[in-house]
Amino acid sequence: MDDEKMLNLISKNAEMGVVGIDAVKDYASGEKFKKELMNQREEYNKIYTSAKNMLTENGCEVSHPSAMAKMSTEMMSRMKTLADPTDSKIAEMMLQGSAMGVAKVIKNANEYTGDSEEIRDLAQKLQETEEFNIENMKRYL
- DSSP label at residue 63: P
Alpha-carbon distance values, 129 to 1, 79, 82, 92, 110 (Å): 22, 26, 27, 17, 18
Residue 38, pLDDT score: 98
Please report, for the chain, how many H helices and E strands are present, in that order.
Answer: 5, 0
Contacts for 54-59: CB closer than 8 Å, 24+ residues apart: 54/7, 54/118, 54/119, 54/122, 55/4, 55/7, 55/8, 55/11, 58/3, 58/4
Residues of the chain with confidence (pLDDT) below 70? none
Distance between CA atoms of residues 67 and 64, nearest Å: 8
pLDDT at 139: 96
User: How far separated are the first and last CA of the chain, in Å rounded?
Assistant: 37
CATH 3.40.50.12160, applies to 3-54+66-138? no
Report the pLDDT value the prediction gives residue 113, as an integer from 0 to 100. Answer: 95
Contact 77, 24 (CB under 8 A): yes
pTM for the complete prediction?
Answer: 0.93
Tell me what pLDDT residue 72 has: 93
Number of Cα atoms under 13 Å in the Cβ half of residue 109: 19
